[in-house]
Chain A
């Protein structure tokens, strides 16, 4: 647990970067600091590992004031990932990842073995071990940055806009990867971004900062979307707030009948879902056409009933060419159809139940 108690950072020229911040970062959760440039989110992050020292107030890690800990010692126990990865250009990928284990005194062999294991964990090809950072793509470098931060197994991970310099497709896969890693590792992660969508996707809790270093709202992402504290947060959270809020609403949607067909079947009226031998969907077949590969139309998104939200249910219905969303089980097998009306009805019932 990381506690900010009345933390202020004022620079000699009088600029206030962070203004009397009170905030508790929960252990084992992802906390995202988000806000426009100049809102003090990065300054707040960098005060946790004393890259910047606070002017006033205290920061406690598990109850201990961080100013009592030697900065280098403190930092070795806190993983740090920055934009553009900040890798050491003169070290191989393996040795970059082995940095902190080496610093805390592991033998070279042990540190490298650990580094190799981490490459596996973050999904890096072992063939890259002997390369230098300049030989890797931006996305790969970022993975190395994450691996390096995790190498000595620190309980806390600070991430300063780590994915903002990579293209959107790579960013999304890095975000998914981080969520997967976090579900296995359960670190206390503080993540800084200016991208509200990233904040909402990754955060267990999101702290929205406004210019001048003031905390505007600190809540779970669903609450942030449903009940923004003020006009600033509302404006910052942005468009499609209602639709995105469905991503945090869980409710059962009644499933309808879904006509399925396997390749080779004769023509029949109405849309039918083409499935393989394991009942996994492969595409839609328009009415009046025989089930041949050339006639199959690509489908929309899938709604996983075991983990899906109302957003994924609604999106499945809206993106399907037939107008019927496809619900699948955890193994990806078809379990039924979703109609958009049913999703909205489920939302109504849920509202009635909550209020």
Chain B
């Protein structure tokens, strides 16, 4: 505890760094995954390729991806862009699949009805399909956020300070308190992000929480036939 109090400033700044490295790739990944997922839904062949490629990307070891990024992107070896790009790729790998699943779970009768009402393709996507896919996307986003928060720690190995630095530091200098504090804070960051996603998801989907019991107030009955 004394160690924590003595290092409070550093812990706080590392936590903020960590949040910075986590939130941006998750948001970027989501923003990119939505149009990609939509495009994937248009043609079964495109869908198969995208889902498989994105699944494959997730299996590339993170440390390798961090090191590889400057080669692929032509960025400086010390550039933050490398971390953002690598983590965005992981988020994408998880979310493209999720977006495709979420969109294909929208009842076809509803999409049909929207088309028949006179929705154009883009507007139908934004106003009908995407909102209805939100519950599934939120579930995938929670996984992606937790995964990213954990992957960010690896970036400490290639020289970007974040809560992962507490592991490397604590290990090299034999300070177990540092490692424990790192684990607790990473969990905390993951938990906070998860709660935020759940909360925003709830704000966006009020209709999922209504009781599906038919309303008591019934339509006015048609004039009953009077029988003598």
Could you tell me which A residues sit within 8 Å of B by CB distance? 49, 51, 72-78, 80, 82-84, 86-91, 99-100, 103-104, 122-125, 127-128, 131-132, 134-137, 139-140, 143, 148, 158, 173, 176-177, 180, 273-275, 280-284, 298-302, 326, 332, 334
Contact = CB atoms under 8 A, between A and B. Distances in A.
B215 to A, nearest CB: 5
Interface string B163-176: 00000000000000
Contact of A86 (B112, B118, B227): B112
Interface stretch (B55-63, B70-78, B152-160, B217-225): B217-225
Contacts, number: 127
* Chain B interface category by residue count: 35 or more
A49 B205 contact: no
A82 B211 contact: no
Given A73-B118, A135-B210, A90 B132 contact: yes
A86 B220 contact: no
Contacts of A300: 227-228
Contact of A103 (B112, B117, B220): B117
A123 to B, nearest CB: 5
Given A75-B118, A134-B210, A86 B113 contact: yes
B214 A136 contact: yes
Contact of B212 (A76, A123, A134, A299): A134
Contacts of B220: 123, 125
B222 A86 contact: no
Given A51-B116, A173-B221, A128 B215 contact: yes
B52 interface: no
A99 B132 contact: no
* SS class, residues of chain B in contact with chain A: loop
B222 A176 contact: yes
Contacts of A125: 215, 217-220
Contact of A132 (B118, B207, B225): B207
A72 B120 contact: yes
Contact of B228 (A139, A158, A273): A273
A75 B116 contact: yes
B41 interface: no
Interface of B: 107, 109-110, 112-120, 123, 128, 131-132, 205-207, 210-215, 217-222, 225-228
26 contacts: A51-B115, A72-B120, A74-B118, A75-B117, A77-B118, A83-B109, A87-B113, A90-B131, A91-B207, A99-B117, A103-B117, A103-B119, A122-B219, A123-B222, A131-B210, A132-B210, A135-B215, A136-B214, A137-B215, A137-B218, A139-B219, A148-B117, A173-B222, A176-B222, A300-B228, A302-B227
Given A123-B219, A302-B225, A302-B227, 16 more contacts: A72-B118, A72-B120, A80-B116, A82-B113, A87-B113, A88-B114, A123-B220, A123-B222, A125-B217, A125-B220, A128-B215, A132-B207, A140-B215, A177-B222, A281-B228, A284-B228
A103 B218 contact: no
Contacts of A128: 215, 217
B141 to A, nearest CB: 18
